[in-house]
Amino acid sequence: MGITGLLPFLEGATRPCHVSEFRGGTVAVDSYCLLHKGVAASAFQLANNQDTDNYVRYCLKYVNMLLQHDIRPIMVFDGRNLPAKADTELKRRESRLKAKQMAKQLTQLGKTTEAETYYKQCLEITPEMAHKLIVACRQKGVDCIVSPYESDAQLAFFSIKGVAQCILTEDSDLLVYGCEKVLFKLDSRGNGKLVESPKIPKAIRMREDQYSFEKFRFMCILSGCDYVPSLSGVGLKKALDFIRMISDTDPNRFLNRIPTYLKIKAKVTETYKDQFMVANATFLHQLVFDPYRKALIHLRDPGEMGTDPKYLDSLGEKFEDQLAYGVAMGNLDPISFTKIDAWEPRNVPQYSIWSGIFTRRNKRTQKNTLDSFLIRLKQPLTSFVSSKPTPENTDTQPSTLDDDIQIIEPT
């Protein structure tokens, strides 16, 4: 899941971290990562359609841990399947089917221990399973949101907007989407590995005048991702070598230079170029739901960035805002749009993403208080492509959220 080998590659941008560092703040959680871990303990029951809520209790252990450290979780769930990922999803479905067949054969032979491994491999998280966790989280006053498509982009939305100070996941793609701080390998005691994107240039040994986030994204796509396979012989190291060589950041021109610059025999076909451009558009412009404006939007505006509309077709259908709102709240099935609940965000606190007036919690002072600023989001998200790395000391920098909000002083 994510970019193969990226986390070890970014060891220089990674450090041990305890969740208490984010006390008083907000962490957006990749809920499906928790669900996948949770279902592993109940693999046999779930694969054989036996009712269990063990996976919900597993996820709630982590939710409770965050709450105990005065951290406000935003639980983010996957929605519809992304067309750009159709080939990857097909391979995964085929793999799950084979694993299920093997599990049943081993069970019939009485080899239950061996069968358990395959039961874990054949499980798929369903919207129904996700909804059980949503209901349980609501009872604790924890915000939940179902993404229109993949949760990666929705998580990135909260990071780029400055709503969440950290993203909790096991998917390295979140770094490619533009998240500033991503916490991996979280254990039940709150310890994990934090990757900080401002430290990436030093980690990959690129000078400040060489590096841009755009080049980092290109490097990751070239090494192979869920949306496009890599060219033969190109992994992260080769991809890094290549982006160090180029100053032109137009893929239509630099992709043709790969075989010459890297001295490899791979052919850069028109099909590969199109797949690369679709992958790039997916990381930049995937559809997300903006809970503050109650609207389905692109993570970054394609028009502002001059992205060719033909590369947006694989990002999925842009359906009506009202449907997207119902899906996001967990009231509509994300696949069929059928009604599954009737939850309304009544009497939610001002720091809830579903509040009409959103109040950001004051992470910087590390106090259990709310910010004195009441803020109302009003503009679409702008580009997160910087020509230089972000300064490491962000305490004196304006929040990325402040560019997109109206600040209302308290009376």
Residues of the chain with pLDDT under 70: 1, 89, 122, 357-411
CA distance 320 to 87: 26
For tokens 């404006």, name the residue: 293
CA distance 184 to 106: 34
Domain 6-201+288-408, what fold?
Rossmann fold (3.40.50)
pLDDT of residue 400: 35
Same topology, domains 6-201+288-408 and 206-283? Answer is no
Quick one: which of 233, 298, 244 has its CA closest to 268? 233
CA distance 53 to 241: 48
For tokens 């709310």, name the residue: 370
Domain boundary assignment for the chain: 6-201+288-408, 206-283
pLDDT of residue 282: 97
pLDDT of residue 90: 75
pLDDT of residue 1: 66
CA distance 155 to 31: 10
CATH says 206-283 is which class? mainly alpha
Mutual orientation of helices 236-245 and 213-222 as an angle, nearest 10°? 140
pLDDT of residue 136: 98
pLDDT of residue 395: 36
Encoding tokens for residue 259?
């075989």
DSSP 26: E
DSSP 277: H
| Residue pair 260/43 in contact by the 8 Å Cβ criterion | no
Contacts for 263 with CB less than 8 Å, ≥ 6 apart: none
CA distance 25 to 163: 9
CA distance 200 to 216: 9
pLDDT of residue 380: 46
pTM: 0.84
Q: What is the pLDDT of residues 118-162, one digit of tens each?
A: 777 767 888 999 999 999 999 999 999 999 999 999 999 999 999
CA distance 48 to 380: 45
Contacts for 107 with CB less than 8 Å, ≥ 6 apart: 115
Contacts for 149 with CB less than 8 Å, ≥ 6 apart: 78, 79, 80, 81, 82, 286, 287, 315, 316
DSSP 23: T
